[in-house]
Amino acid sequence: MELLPEQCRAARGLLNWTQAELAGRAGVSRSTVRDFEGERHDLHRSTEALLLRSFDDAGVEMLSDTGVGVRLRKAAA
């Protein structure tokens, strides 16, 4: 799955995370998150995987089948 800047911003908003918080959880620099979200550069695959894992660990699903979006995963019943 390819993470888009819009999805990254939306996922952070859903979790109420700052760029610094996402960076810390993913183990990347804040400037990496800032530059990606600002569309100044693309992510390396390994960095993208770290961001996606951080979002997944927090319960965020990336949507691509119905357009581009994010949502919180439903809690197990």
Q: Say how many C-beta atoms besides its own lie within 10 A of residue 31's C-beta.
A: 11
Asked if 70 and 61 touch (Cβ cutoff 8 Å), the reply is: yes
Number of domains in the chain: 1
Asked if 62 and 5 touch (Cβ cutoff 8 Å), the reply is: no
Asked if 65 and 6 touch (Cβ cutoff 8 Å), the reply is: no
Q: What is the pLDDT of residues 22-75, one digit of tens each?
A: 999 999 999 999 999 999 999 999 999 999 999 999 999 999 776 788 999 876
pTM of the model as a whole:
0.90
Structure confidence at residue 73 (pLDDT): 87
CATH of the domain at 38: 1.10.260.40
Structure confidence at residue 75 (pLDDT): 62
37 in any annotated domain: yes
Q: What is the 3-state secondary structure (H, E, C) of 20-60?
A: HHHHHHHCCCHHHHHHHHCCCCCCCHHHHHHHHHHHHHCCE
For residue 15, give its domain range.
5-72
